[in-house]
Structure 1
């Protein structure tokens, strides 16, 4: 049987469409490929952007901002030496872009200027670290992307 060019074009188009549809269905139904939003309450978080930026700017205007140091024990968050540690409150949030199941939040409780995020809580790879903290009624924010 001989196939003319019109029939060949139709068969090629049907084959291409079938190929694309196979991958669309496979990606949307397979649990391995999750298509989640960055956060569950994305729109509420978007409304807070301006306040977050202002708190970050306030933190940057301090004579000494928060510093990070990677050690063998984990990530050391170093608060400014000039501040009284008993007046520092807040929380540290670590967000794992590749898998939200590894995200965690820890409250800030200091016995010295340092807060240690233990190594056993961290997997190798990229993390987004956000420190929302308050000192004597003023709110600050520190945000950094780290690779551990």
Structure 2
């Protein structure tokens, strides 16, 4: 085989490889963090203020995994105070598995979320609430077994 045929074979293989990469990249599903990303970005100042306010508490919100649930424990100073907020469970690998629940701790400051809502893997838990007209915000990564 002469060198002219070799160049043509290399060119055809290169073109086939590029077409394969383009085809695979076009079929790859890409999830944005939120559907309305740009308006969420404009609200980010509230997140910064919420993190600062949450850092001023005696302790952070604790997220644990007892046997059949995920438990959210608010700091002791928040027990018994009226809170309005949400707990967002964000799954980075699949936005279809994201869900949120209203923040509603019981008399001991604990809120239980049933394990049946989760699948195995990592979740980013975003807890945001408002107390005395001040925003609070905290994030924590958990791994569901």
Q: Return the TM-score normalized by structure 2.
A: 0.89
The equivalent of 1:145 in structure 2 is 141
Look up the SS of the partner of 2:60 in the other structure.
coil
Offset at residue 7 of structure 1 (A): 2.8
Is 1:110 aligned to residue 105 of structure 2? yes
Q: List runs of 5+ in structure 1 lacking aligned partners.
A: none
Task: Note closer, same or farther for the CA distance 1:137–1:81 as it changes in structure 2 (3 Å cut).
Answer: same
Once residues 48 and 2 of structure 2 are traced to their aligned partners in structure 1, the CA distance between those partners, rounded to angstroms, is: 64
Once residues 46 and 132 of structure 2 are traced to their aligned partners in structure 1, the CA distance between those partners, rounded to angstroms, is: 18
The equivalent of 1:83 in structure 2 is 78
The equivalent of 1:10 in structure 2 is 8
Once residues 79 and 31 of structure 2 are traced to their aligned partners in structure 1, the CA distance between those partners, rounded to angstroms, is: 40
Count of matched residue positions in the alignment of Structure 1 and Structure 2 = 143
Offset at residue 10 of structure 1 (A): 2.5
Once residues 50 and 121 of structure 2 are traced to their aligned partners in structure 1, the CA distance between those partners, rounded to angstroms, is: 27
Q: For the Cα contact (< 8 Å) 1:86–1:110, is it kept in 2?
A: no
Once residues 27 and 17 of structure 1 are traced to their aligned partners in structure 2, the CA distance between those partners, rounded to angstroms, is: 15
State the 4+ residue runs in structure 1 displaced beyond 6 angstroms: none
Higher relative contact order (CA 8 A, sep 6+): 2
CA-atom RMSD, angstroms? 1.6
Offset at residue 27 of structure 1 (A): 4.0
Q: In structure 2, which of residues 77, 93, 99 is the aligned counterpart of residue 98 of structure 1?
A: 93
The equivalent of 1:135 in structure 2 is 131
Q: List runs of 5+ in structure 2 lacking aligned partners.
A: none
Once residues 105 and 147 of structure 1 are traced to their aligned partners in structure 2, the CA distance between those partners, rounded to angstroms, is: 17
Task: Note closer, same or farther for the CA distance 1:108–1:71 as it changes in structure 2 (3 Å cut).
Answer: same
Once residues 46 and 13 of structure 1 are traced to their aligned partners in structure 2, the CA distance between those partners, rounded to angstroms, is: 45
Look up the SS of the partner of 1:85 in the other structure.
coil
